[in-house]
Structure 1
């Protein structure tokens, strides 16, 4: 019986590694964003816009306590990142959160509670906003 050659051995190892990495991608992740923004004494409607490098999920308006949910399958390289912007009436900022980062988020059901100061993932990992000022659009003059 002939010994396996170096090329077929390398191919077999590569195939096994790809199969192991592919196990990661079979687990779908569901992200739910819940609006808890309240400017006393009134609850506030927020607009959410989520994106990844490859996907733009569009704009969604959430009433107070309303939610938006999306599902995706992370890539095999553990580099999936979804980020969302948040705006609401009377606030001159566009706020951002990394809503899912495969490098450090270890959840298949990721529930974000959004508040005035930022958001909390699964009620324990809270983070402040990354914010920028909104610029009032001025008509171009020529």
Structure 2
């Protein structure tokens, strides 16, 4: 009976090939640039907004934008397409926090994702407009379970 055992060289070669494939997937994903423009008008005047964006791994902090100002960030999506950034939006005189998924690798394909934020939600790249994903009262106590 003759058994074949992997030699260290063949094991190293298999590991190297696997590593190269994984790195190719990682570098294959291009950098995504997200730009968020404040185009919010609370009749009859333009309004400042405060933006707070997060992912599972990153909290990008709070940014206050004057009307027509923008906030921009970039990242490389992971190769298994689970990258998700969501943002909350608040503005003076409104007691609610408004949320949008600003980038979801499951369905977003843009590498330059430009959002225009308005009273009803946001528009991605001037054609895909949608309402707020959710709205919460800022001073409300969290629900008890």
Give how far 1:10 is off.
Answer: 5.7
Counterpart residue number, 2:48: 45
The yes-or-no answer on 1:97 pairing with 2:124 is no
The yes-or-no answer on 1:70 pairing with 2:81 is no
Give how far 1:24 is off.
Answer: 2.9
Give how far 1:75 is off.
Answer: 1.4
Q: 2:89 aligns with which of 81, 86, 89?
A: 86
SS at match of 2:94: coil
Q: 2:35 aligns with which of 14, 32, 35?
A: 32
Work out the CA distance in 1 between the residues paired with 2:100 and 2:52.
11
Work out the CA distance in 2 between the residues paired with 1:82 and 1:22.
18
Q: 2:109 aligns with which of 106, 109, 131?
A: 106
TM-score, normalised relative to structure 1:
0.83
Work out the CA distance in 1 between the residues paired with 2:49 and 2:55.
20
Contact 1:24–1:74 (8 Å) recurs in 2: no
TM-score, normalised relative to structure 2:
0.81
1:35-94 Cα shifts (integer Å, max 9, x gaps) = 011011110000000011111111000011110011111112211111000000111210
Give how far 1:14 is off.
Answer: 3.1
Counterpart residue number, 1:60: 63
Compute the RMSD of aligned alpha carbons: 2.4
Structure 2: runs of 5+ lacking an equivalent: 1-5
Counterpart residue number, 2:3: none
Structure 1: runs of 5+ lacking an equivalent: 138-142
Q: 2:123 aligns with which of 107, 120, 125?
A: 120
